Amino acid sequence: MSWTDSLGYLVSSLVLRTLLRRTMVRLRTRAICSNVAFILYALVDQSVCLH
């Protein structure tokens, strides 16, 4: 497993932990952070797809 795969699993776990938040402010903050992390992962992995 490469370091980019490990990074992808880490970012996926951020999304899962986002879904476990109970308050709206924490949920939205965590969701924004996980979305930014996924964008950064896509840039690092060079798998950005534009529709």
User: Tell me, what's the pLDDT at 3?
Assistant: 84
| CA distance readout (Å), 34 to 22, 23, 24, 46 | 16, 16, 15, 18
Domain presence at residue 21? yes
pLDDT, residue 43, reads: 85
Q: Considering the domain boundaries, does residue 35 fall inside one?
A: yes
Q: Is-contact 29 10, C-beta < 8 A?
A: no
Domain presence at residue 50: no
Is residue 51 included in any domain, yes or no? no
Q: Which residue range(s) make up the domain with 14?
A: 3-45
30 Cβ contact partners less than 8 Å away, ≥ 6 residues apart: 14, 17, 18, 21
Number of structural domains found in the chain: 1
Please check the confidence at residue 49 and state whether its pLDDT lies above 70: no
pLDDT at 51: 46
Question: What digits encode the pLDDT tens for the residues 24-37?
Answer: 998 999 999 989 99
**8-18: per-residue pLDDT in tens?**
898 889 888 88
